[in-house]
Amino acid sequence: MLDKLRSLNQKLIEKYHKEKDDKNETIQKIISRLLKDEDCFFKVSIEQAFTILRELNINKEDFEKIYLQLTKPKNWQIFLTILNL
Amino acid sequence: MSSFDVYNSYYEKLSKNYLIVENNDKDFFQKHTNKIALETGDVSGYFDKEAIIALLTNYSESLLRVANNDLEFISVGYFSNGDYSKICSMKKSDFAKLATKIAQMGKFDGNKEILNAIDKLTELTDPKKAVLPKFNVKIDKKKYSFDSNTIMQFLTDGYKNYNFKVHKENILGLPKDECFFMLKEFIYENKLREKYVFDKESQRFIDKILMDAYANTFHFNKILYTTDENLGEVKLDDEFVNLILCDMPKNYSKAEKAIYIYIKLCKVLTYDPEFYANSQKGMTAIKHKDLLRLETITKTNNQIVCYEFSQIYAILLNMVGINYEIIGNPEYGIGHRKIVFRADDFIVSADSVTSILGGDLYNAKINKKLDGLLCKNKNKQTVAKFNSFRRNVYQNLIINESSNQTDEDVFEEFLAMFDNFCKKEVLSIQQKKEIFEKQSKQTELPTTEKITHLMRIAKRIFYQETKQKKFDITIINGKKIQGLEIASKPLMVFAFNEQTFKQSPYYTSYYVVQDDGTLKEISREEINKNFDSGMFKYINAGVGGVHVIPGLQTEGQIVR
């Protein structure tokens, strides 16, 4: 999911750069820096998280669903399988 | 010609431009030259009401002769020992306004001569009746010529047909900014405000033109060329130039390039501490006076003083095609120097050393707001545009600088920038509780790890409330009866307060996170009852002591 957001973000950087929309391009570059951190959504408040999703042009109805997905712990059962436990 | 004739001829010439009063009257007029406002109007002038009445009553012929000349003032004086001495001057427009207002008060009722003089004065100061020569103006390197009547008609009436906020086409044959510059020059050169009485609306229009309220005109005819005797005398080190310019975006406008170079220089260069410590004197001062020293400036040999910074910046501005002026002592190495340059439509002042301890040489290094790079234009939208460029170029530099850094400080810095740029989404407490419950239900982890994860999530979801001391989480030992045994189990307790725990502890509401992930409300009394019965117990977490549930009043516990 985080990779999807990064991809969206990259497309928006290119779009705003082409349109010479400096302010939005800068916002996307800041988001890009935040998204570089794998733990990004564990370091921002929920308000900031929703704002990031809004700036990535995600529909408001999907904020909650995506936020839950981003803050879901990686399934530890899968790790046990990988470790052959 | 006799001396008497010479004297008469001199007097005649003078009386065309100056209203000369009798020596008997000079004391009266001296006394009545305070600047006051008429009680019935908003006009103030150098002559008071009594002086105006006296001039109109006793000197109306001279007054009209003087009002008919080309000067913008009505000057009143007297002759003494063959010399003219001025008593006072007043703008023609103000004089006419005052005279009209006095007449409207009924002061001259019945006096035809004075009323005729006032009518004549009104006519002479009527902008619609003005006869002015062709108006020639230079705007940057182009020359223009205009019919003055057309311009006057525009200033008194024609402007009402325009909405200047949205108007994009030419006005009076010129682009908007150029047109308003031309109007400003016309107003100043013909001294319109001093010589003519405009109606209130036109007067307001003229005042706003002069404030650059409608257009950006401040930059015209300014800094069209660079004249700097030092420009060709020194060549900066190639590596140093590359250090400053290499990452500068190619598509930047001139203004953005100027901002970028300024910030980079402030980040790389540093104020010579020895020069500062020696109060800018002594041997260290001598070394800085050598212009050729600039050729040795590199990333590591980077100590400079104000005039060196200005000269380095000047050379780089010239490289990117920007004209500038150096402000300060004409002799290099003496006194403070800064730069003013013209980039696109901006006139910008650059001073990296507004103070030695605290100027932009410091600010840029810690990514603090710059205070030495200022747009001097009068038009507010133009200044706002420049400030936006400055902010964006600065932010982009910071972002690119830290693109390879991953530490927490950088994350927090970017988060702060994000908050500055974007208005935050708002969620209600109820929405947050629902989201937490959903997260809690979907978290499939063993108990202790689940609690760790949910605490982490809760701190993010209720971050605002935690900061405002309206939310708290406590993990307690919540015992459960299982058959014949009592099992201990960590239990999350949430505390919510609409004000703060300290302000109104008794208005705290409590929730426990149940096994299925839902939040169940629990009363203070029930919590205390469980603590009293031993079903609830605080967990001693070791270093830092016990974290207690806020807002409870139980003996031995602290109310948060």
Integer distance in angstroms from the first to the last C-alpha of chain B? Answer: 105
pLDDT in tens, B271-294: 888 887 777 777 777 888 999 999
Collect all residues from A whose CB is shorter than 8 A from any CB in B.
Answer: 22-23, 26-27, 29-31, 33-34, 36-37, 41-52, 54-55, 63-64, 67-68, 71-73, 75-77
Of B36, B34, B76, nearest to B56 by C-alpha is B76
Query: How distant is the Cα of B499 from the closest Cα of chain A, in angstroms?
Result: 20
Q: Is the confidence at residue B308, as pLDDT, over 90?
A: yes
pLDDT in tens, B176-186: 999 999 999 99
**Pairs from A9-14 (Cβ < 8 Å, separation ≥ 24):** A9/A35, A9/A56, A12/A56, A12/A57
pLDDT in tens, B217-229: 999 999 999 989 8
pLDDT in tens, B20-45: 999 889 889 888 886 555 444 443 44
Place of tokens 């902008």: B127
A30/B414 touch (CB, cutoff 8 Å), yes or no: yes
> Tell me, what's the pLDDT at A15?
93
* Interatomic CA distance for residues A43 and A41, integer angstroms: 5
Query: How distant is the Cα of A80 from the closest Cα of chain B, in angstroms?
Result: 12
Query: Is the reported ipTM for this assembly greater than 0.85?
Result: yes
Compare CB distances from B445 to A50, A63, A73 and report the shortest one's residue. Answer: A73
Compare CB distances from B445 to A47, A51, A76 and report the shortest one's residue. Answer: A76
Task: For residue B436, give the chain A residue with the closest CA.
Answer: A68
A29/B419 touch (CB, cutoff 8 Å), yes or no: no
Radius of gyration of chain A (CA): 15
Query: How distant is the Cα of B394 from the closest Cα of chain A, in angstroms?
Result: 10
> Tell me, what's the pLDDT at B542?
52
Task: For residue A60, give the chain B residue with the closest CA.
Answer: B425
pLDDT in tens, A32-65: 999 988 889 999 999 999 999 999 999 999 999 9
Reported residue count of chain A is 85
Q: How far is CA B188 from CA B72, B95, B135, B207, in A?
A: 11, 19, 12, 12
User: Is B421:B451 a contact under the CB 8 Å cutoff?
Assistant: no
The mean-pLDDT minimum among A51-65, B23-37, B53-67, B144-158 falls in: B23-37
Q: What share of chain B is helix, strand, coil (3-state, %, to 5)?
A: 45, 15, 35
The mean-pLDDT minimum among A25-34, B257-266, B408-417 falls in: B408-417
Q: Which two three-digit tokens encode residue B490? A: 């960590």
B415/A36 touch (CB, cutoff 8 Å), yes or no: no
What percentage of chain B exceeds 70 in pLDDT?
93
Longest dimension (CA), chain B: 139
Compare CB distances from A26 to B392, B453, B463 and report the shortest one's residue. Answer: B392
The angle subtended at Cα B149 by Cα B166 and Cα B117, nearest 5°, is 120
Chain A residues with CB under 8 Å of B442 CB are: 68, 72
pLDDT in tens, B488-502: 788 899 999 988 888
Query: How distant is the Cα of B246 from the closest Cα of chain A, in angstroms?
Result: 20
Mean pLDDT for chain A overall: 85
| Model confidence band, residue B378 (pLDDT cutoffs 50, 70, 90) | very high
> Tell me, what's the pLDDT at B285?
79
For the ranges B15-29, B47-61, B108-122, B340-354, the maximum mean pLDDT occurs at B340-354
Q: Is the pTM of this model over 0.90?
A: no
Average pLDDT over residues B423-451: 88
pLDDT in tens, B314-362: 999 999 999 999 999 888 888 888 999 999 999 999 999 887 777 899 8
Chain B residues with CB under 8 Å of A51 CB are: 418, 422-425
Place of tokens 């002061």: B107
> Tell me, what's the pLDDT at B83?
83
CB atoms near residue B487 (< 10 Å): 10
B388/A44 touch (CB, cutoff 8 Å), yes or no: no
